[in-house]
Amino acid sequence: MAITVSSLPLIIGHRGACGHAPENTLASFRAAADLGVAWVEFDVKLSGDGELIILHDDTLDRTTTGRGPVTQHTLAEIRRLDAGLFFDAEFRGEKVPTLDDTLAVLQDLNLGAVVEIKPCPGREAETGDRTARHLAAHWPGSLPAPLLCSFKPGALAAAGAAVPALERALLLEVMAEDWRHLAEQVGVRAIHCGHGHLTESLAGEVQAAGYDLRCYTVNDGARAKVLLDWGVQGIITDYPERMP
């Protein structure tokens, strides 16, 4: 199954719309859709027993009622946790979704997705490989093709080896001097970077080299306008309604 990425929208909801609902939950994806977002971003990692789940951190403590490393818990154990209370009592009972749960909701809501490979330490290649293969096999045919991204070159390389047709982006917190070398190493066509250290000249350099450029996590409309004026092609935000 060939997967090639379509044109992404300018505004992408971060972990759903996590300014409005608990991040990386089905409630957050629904909140994004309610705000008129066409694409969302979310994080995929492996549970201790190798199941693909939607969770950002390497530990359960911040966003669930669980404690300790994700790698020490099975999917069944993680599914018993509450992933909404950390945000607000209104979301009591939200669960950590699986990737399959998420794909079903994306299909229902007609949402495209940037899928971040967020491996626990030491599981970079395994998570990249498993995520890419699962998306190739189960991505809803009614949706635009997904875009994979990661901070971990090993995860991106494994995803590319598993499903070469699935396009990928390199995540960088800061645009390092060797950004182009890193991008060429893993064969990506896009850079997603933290907006705080991006300059107009760096933005121009990335685009002149032929790469798509998107920025995270932009929650101020005025800053977003500056970035868009520099030619940035996508804004990843907790608050889509604030964007120009």
pLDDT one-digit tens code per residue, 168-205: 999 999 998 899 999 999 999 999 999 999 999 999 99
- What domain range includes position 22? 11-60+98-242
Alpha-carbon span 99 to 161, nearest angstrom: 20
Q: Which of 34, 10, 23 is nearest to 118 (CA)?
A: 23
- Annotated catalytic residues are 14, 56
Q: How many domains does the chain have?
A: 1
For residue 196, give the CATH number of its domain: 3.20.20.190
Give the mean model confidence (pLDDT) for residues 217-242: 98
Alpha-carbon span 58 to 113, nearest angstrom: 22
- On the question of pLDDT at 3 being above 90, the answer is no
The pLDDT score that the predictor gives to residue 1 is: 46
Give domain status of residue 68, yes or no: no
Quick one: three-class SS letters along 41-94?
EEEEEECCCCCEEECCCCECCCCCCCCCEHHHCCHHHHHCCCCCCCCCHHHCCC
pLDDT one-digit tens code per residue, 127-157: 999 999 999 999 999 999 999 999 999 999 9
pTM for this one? Answer: 0.97
Answer for the pair 52, 134: CB distance below 8 angstroms, yes or no.
Answer: yes
Give domain status of residue 73, yes or no: no
Among residues of the chain, what percentage have pLDDT more than 90? 95
pLDDT one-digit tens code per residue, 31-51: 999 999 999 999 999 999 999
Give domain status of residue 77, yes or no: no
Q: Which of 229, 231, 172 is nearest to 203 (CA)?
A: 231
- On the question of pLDDT at 4 being above 70, the answer is no
Query: Which residues lie closer than 8 Å to 135 by C-beta, 6 or more apart?
Result: 3, 115, 146, 148, 163, 166
Give domain status of residue 147, yes or no: yes
Which secondary structure element, helix H or strand E, spans residue 115, and what is its range?
strand 112-117
- On the question of pLDDT at 118 being above 50, the answer is yes
The pLDDT score that the predictor gives to residue 177 is: 85
Q: What is the mean pLDDT of the chain?
A: 96
Give domain status of residue 201, yes or no: yes
